[in-house]
Amino acid sequence: MTDSIDQLLSAMTLDEKVILLSGEDFWSVPSVERLGIGKLRVTDGPNGARGGGSLIGGVKSASFPVGIAIGATWNVELAREIGTALAEEVKSKGAHMLLAPTVNIHRSVTNGRNFECYSEDPILSAELAVGYIEGLQGQGIGATIKHFVGNESEIERTTMSSEIDERSLREIYLIPFEWAVKKAGTWGVMSSYNRLNGTFTSEHNWLLSTVLRSEWGYDGIVMSDWFGSHSTAETVNAGLDLEMPGPSRDRGQKLIDAVHSGTVSEATLDKRVRAMLRLMERTGSLDDHRPHHEEAQDRPEHRALIRRAGAEAAVLLKNDGILPLTPGARLAVIGPNAKRAQIMGGGSAQLNAHYRVSPWEGLVAQLGEQRLSYAPGCGNDRFEPLLRGTFEVDYFANEKLEGEPVHTGTQEDAQAFWIGNVAEGKVDPLHFSARIHASFTPERSGTHRVGIYSAGFAKVFVDGRLIADAWANWTKGRTFFEEGCDEVVGAIDLEAGRTYSVTIEFATKNFATLGLAAFACGIGLPLGEADIAEAARIAGEGEIAVVFIGRNGEWDTEGSDLPGIELPGRQNELVAAVASASPNTVVVLQTGGPVEMPWLSSVRAVLQAWYPGQEAGNAIADVLTGAAEPGGRLPQTFPVRWADNPAHSQDREVYPGLEGKVRYEEGIFVGYRHCDRLGMTPLFPFGFGLGYTGFALGDLQLETSRFEAEGELVATVTVKNTGSRAGSTVVQLYVSDDVSSSPRPEKELKAFAKVALAAGESREVTLKLDARCFAFFRAEAKHWLVEAGLFKILVGQSSADLPLSAAVTRNTTLMLPV
């Protein structure tokens, strides 16, 4: 802390101090002009920098691979590189802080936000978070690690209490945050929406003051998630520095009154303000008085990085030699994700990308269109396909569509996410109505489905006829962060080539937690048996069939968990039909997590490509053709079936939650730890992935001279590329404590290294372990404990492939502070 912060703090009035502790609007904290204090601006999100616009539209931004894709790279240096690039993106949007990274643990396989998080494993998540944060903050942009803590499900997340014992918190869920503080020095932490053991995390004194600040020595700020603050004195006293967004609901005059009444002391208030000033100094916003300006900077170096990272994230799950694709082969390109670029998940992480490259476009660029044929086969939409185009919108300064419009504008596509400034400020963003004028020309005749879902009241008319009504009987559902209704669908017969007028009427309604207004409208003609048959036909005519299936950002999204992990729609039927028609079938998956694969034995290769950002199609084509190595390894265990994951239970309180509580009954046994505990063989194990070359590990050696005194050791292992081309692997080290006074997992990941080698090259890899790598947390004694006895060191290339082992023994116990 500099002298200037002391001087500013002493010069501030009570009103000025309070101003800095809540947002001015959705994306900024007010300036204090009298003292020359500039305005702090923040922006979402983990896979790009959206700027101050809506989740839909706005200034264009670079779309990077999502969190689980970064997790799949197991590459800390790449995470640092991405963080550095994102700092440039944040600066292009005139902001000082990025609301990222997201490090909640993959507790279940159905969490809608798993795509945004790195891994089921705390050490992998923590290592990647440290690299990402160091990349960001090395360029002067503040990181905001989130969501602190226990937000592993999107179901009733703004009210649900995550019931987690302290040992599980310390050993699993807190570790990425702890490392972000202790190793990366993060400048920001965002509290989660949920309660933790009955108390909102935004006012959780033990979490924010005892653990975060006193035990870990944190000196940054804690901000609320948007609308995630629920009180005044409680949040300030517990350690929440910043209430977001603005204008304030719980602070402002309420906080001034709390100081006057003594429920918040001036000393506590000054702690909160000092933290804000320190952050503003670190990010440069303290002296930043430039007019706010956002630019769409489509940087060639970012394009190249996104493409390279997308390929390195791709996990080759099965390959009998059909990949890389044979040069000159005729390809049948099939599936709902073939010509649609699935580049990101849904929710606050989404942005208006500079461009989107589909797999079809990527293959055409590399192979030429003359060798390709195409059939969609089936759909995989959760909602009816979005009505696209440029539409005129009339805005009314009331909620009844009455009178003359106060503003007329345009929008791209039949969707809107209105927050903050709406209709150039001519309407109250929470109290207005709008009429959207669109048109639709169907490509085929038939009975079309018209769908609408909205956070607000909405209706859809086609040629003046009411087709879908989400107004008369609006019911809260699982869209728009649980502020919207489920999709309401109507049907109408439409003729190919004829243009129909479409009118959407919308009005705001009272919100539950998040103050927003939104809708999305789609029109679609369902695909059927004939479409699957056509896909099978072209598969039979091609030499190789490549099927692009999976999910999209409607399924993998903030605000809604998945109903299961079976592929949506008729995609399993499609793969079965194609595989029956073509003995050379390759499946490319794009999902934010595991799926069941009943067709696995009937296809020759499976590539998991996740959501790799705006270069999706190019990155996927690079891997399929062999221009790039599939460099990914699974950051999450893929179970055979949904019921095999640790959160699945007949007790609804375990998942998805019951009567306001979700109980983490499995404790520390998440992910591969769960499989080991039950002796369960997963579909694909944690850390698994194939490449286009092979690797051999050998000569494991332990240097243990400091193990007895300090609990530290160094492991070395030799890695050799045994194949004929360059490639990479991940050396993974797990620790096993066979005899313990407390139940422990069979093994736990404690160190790893991504290694790239030329054909035939060998290298010695060094992995360092500290005492915490051997310890478990004793909640009753409030310390970490390394017990006396034998520990096994297991090394290999996945949690199920650990051919190398060595042992080390301690004669004494070692207690470590929190």
Q: What share of the chain is helix, strand, coil (3-state, %, to 5)?
A: 25, 30, 45
Tokens of 381: 């939409």
C-alpha 774/C-alpha 207 separation (Å) is 24
Catalytic annotation, pick one of 44, 121, 225, 676: 225
CA neighbor of 243 nearest in space, from 548, 468, 505, 29: 29
C-alpha 635/C-alpha 71 separation (Å) is 6
Chain mean position to CA 366: 30
C-alpha 181/C-alpha 634 separation (Å) is 26
The answer to whether 276 and 304 are in contact (CB under 8 A) is: no
Burial class (CB in 10 A: 0-12, 13-18, 19+), 458: buried
DSSP string, 163-227: E--HHHIIIIISHHHHHHHHTS--SEEEE-SSEETTEEGGG-HIIIIIIIIIIT---SEEEPPTT
Output phi, psi for 523, to 5 deg.
Answer: -135, 130
Cβ neighbors of 425 (< 8 A, separation 6 or more) are none
The answer to whether 568 and 612 are in contact (CB under 8 A) is: no
CA neighbor of 334 nearest in space, from 541, 145, 485: 541
Beta strand residue intervals within 480-543, DSSP E: 484-485, 488-494, 500-507, 517-524
Count CA within 13 A, CB hemisphere, residue 574.
32
Cβ neighbors of 18 (< 8 A, separation 6 or more) are 251, 252, 255, 256, 259, 269
Does the CA dihedral 247-250-253-256 come out positive or negative? Answer: negative
C-alpha 248/C-alpha 224 separation (Å) is 12
Amino acid at 669: F
What is the crossing angle of helices 300-313 and 76-92, to 10°?
150
Using CA atoms, how far residue 60 sits from 48, 139, 355, 669, in Å, is 10, 21, 9, 42
CA neighbor of 484 nearest in space, from 511, 462, 466: 511
Beta bridge partners of 494: 446
Residue carrying the six token digits 């300036």 = 31
Give the per-residue SS3 of 737-758: ECCCCCCCCCCEEEEEEEEEEC
DSSP string, 616-646: HHHHHHHHHHTSS------SS-B-SSGGGST
If residue 162 lies in a helix (H) or strand (E), which one and from where to where?
strand 161-163
- The angle at the Cα of 197, spanning 191 to 199, to the nearest 5 degrees, equals 55
DSSP secondary structure letter of residue 234: H
C-alpha 275/C-alpha 342 separation (Å) is 40
Using CA atoms, how far residue 41 sits from 124, 223, 241, 293, 739, in Å, is 30, 13, 15, 11, 52
Amino acid at 178: E
Does residue 428 have an active-site annotation? no
The answer to whether 44 and 50 are in contact (CB under 8 A) is: yes
The answer to whether 125 and 636 are in contact (CB under 8 A) is: no
The answer to whether 137 and 90 are in contact (CB under 8 A) is: no
CA neighbor of 224 nearest in space, from 215, 212, 209, 236: 236
Q: Active-site residue numbers?
A: 225
